[in-house]
């Protein structure tokens, strides 16, 4: 199976955790749920720590603090109408896949949030990868209608994977 997700591992704890196979599986499940093929797309996940993500959060969002996940879509795909599904991308060719964007995820924040919620870290990280991936596809939670669509899509994808509603 050809790689769908490229990884930049800046924190070795993510290797020990097994982020690479987990994120690849999550993205494939999300694509299947949205009736998109796994071939013809690519994205990059940066697996980092709180220090690195705080810098990224400050640089890109003006919020100089750690967060769990950040996403940078390669293209604007959001719907013009609140609560409506975004325009999903068209897959590229095998030798020139459509790059969907980049995701950064912070180990420290993810581990802390999972512990505080009393849930396995793998379950929490799965949810965050789904969340970040949907941002790459144009989903958002800026207003209530968009948030409802995004959360229901996340919940449906997680249910496909046997996980409960995180909300």
- Do residues 111 and 128 make contact, with C-beta atoms less than 8 angstroms apart? no
* Residue in this structure with the two tokens 């013009």, named with its chain if needed: 80
Listed in sequence order, the residues at least 6 apart from 15 whose beta carbon sits closer than 8 Å to its beta carbon are: 9
Tokens of 96: 């020139």
Distance CA 148, CA 82 (A): 10
Listed in sequence order, the residues at least 6 apart from 95 whose beta carbon sits closer than 8 Å to its beta carbon are: none
Please tell me whether 33 is known to bind a ligand: no
Please tell me whether 127 is known to bind a ligand: no
Write out the binding residues for Zn(2+): 131, 135, 141
Write out the binding residues: 131, 135, 141
């Amino acid at each position: 199976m050809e790689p769908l997700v490229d990884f930049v591992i800046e924190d070795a704890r993510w290797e020990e955790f097994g982020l690479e196979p987990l994120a690849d599986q999550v993205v494939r499940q999300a694509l299947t749920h949205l009736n998109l093929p796994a071939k013809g797309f690519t994205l990059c996940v940066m697996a980092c720590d709180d220090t690195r993500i705080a810098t990224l959060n400050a640089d890109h969002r003006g919020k100089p603090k750690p967060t769990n996940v950040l996403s940078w879509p390669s293209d604007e795909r959001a719907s013009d109408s609140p609560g409506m599904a975004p325009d999903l991308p068209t897959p590229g060719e095998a030798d020139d896949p459509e790059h969907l964007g980049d995701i950064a995820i912070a180990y420290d924040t993810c581990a802390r949030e999972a512990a505080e919620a009393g849930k396995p870290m793998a379950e929490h990280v799965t949810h965050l990868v789904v969340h970040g991936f949907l941002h790459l596809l144009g989903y958002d939670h800026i207003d209530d209608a968009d948030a409802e669509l995004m959360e229901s899509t996340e919940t449906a994808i997680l249910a496909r994977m046997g996980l409960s509603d995180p909300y």
